[in-house]
Amino acid sequence: MAAVDWPDDDQPVRVTVEPGIQVVVHELGAGSPLLLLPGLGADHIAFARNVRALAERHLCLVVDPRGIGASDPLVGPGSMAVFADDAAAVIAARASGPAHVLGVSMGGMVAQHLALRHPDRVRTLVLGCTHPGGAAAVLPDPAVTRDLLGGGARDPVSAYRNACRVMYGAAFQRHHPEVVEAAIAWRARHLVSGRTFRVQQEAIRHHATDGELAAIAAPTLVLHGSEDRVVPIANGERLAARIPRATLTQFAGLGHLFFQEDPVATDRVLREWLAACDPQA
């Protein structure tokens, strides 16, 4: 399955998250609501390899954050609080009660703030390939960060190609270059503005939840690839240790985008865990 093989029955809707600002939410499936939050610079296509299986039992609400895709541009400085409040507004508008929440990478940081700022909106929490920020975050090798941020490329497409070198595991890149190339081609057709990228980076830089994680009451599943070079797996271990009702599942041999690299294993873990938490779904 190619990285951009998005279902044909997608029903994008626009949700007002504050007066004059709307974000696009891609709705698929039926059942208990599951909000999906993508990472830095990413749109709904980040979950293209997962959403079909998840939509079999859940109403998937896949968010294009402010400044991404057809969502309204970022206005003002932006912050994790703003992105978390946007997520809460989506749940309030499109779900009849609290939602299961899945956030990956930067989306996992937003999900942490959502669970802390709006606990009544979060039924369960799934944190993928993310970290607690601040002094508690385990940083990657500086060379990895350089590639993630473009590696000195002179154009956006080359910059994203450099980022893919570290986001996908080495073995996956060797065996499935077509998925990586499809992701790069999609980004080439859907460029992210420099301002949006900078605002998201700044929000990440100020993200720090370590001192508050004990207050997260929702059942929490932490997911991480063992070979994640962008967000080392020690970060997942720290989150699982600090959140009271958290468990950690590692995906051996997979990189930062583990959920794209092995969607079958990821979706099986997700669906089984969500079913255990929500037996009536």
- Whether the pLDDT of residue 216 is over 50: the answer is yes
The number of beta carbons lying within 10 Å of the beta carbon of residue 91 is 25
pLDDT digits (tens, 9 = 90+) for 220-269: 999 999 999 999 999 999 999 999 999 999 999 999 999 999 999 999 99
Per-residue confidence band for 280, with pLDDT thresholds at 50, 70 and 90: low
More confident residue, 279 or 210: 210
pLDDT number for residue 14: 98
Determine the Cα–Cα distance for residues 271 and 34; give it in Å rounded to an integer. Answer: 11
pLDDT number for residue 144: 97
All structural domains of the chain, each given as residue ranges with its CATH number in brackets, are: 11-139+194-277 (3.40.50.1820)
Per-residue confidence band for 1, with pLDDT thresholds at 50, 70 and 90: very low
pLDDT number for residue 5: 84
pLDDT digits (tens, 9 = 90+) for 133-167: 999 999 999 999 999 999 889 899 999 999 999 99
Determine the Cα–Cα distance for residues 45 and 52; give it in Å rounded to an integer. Answer: 12
Range 126-134 average pLDDT: 98
pLDDT number for residue 234: 98
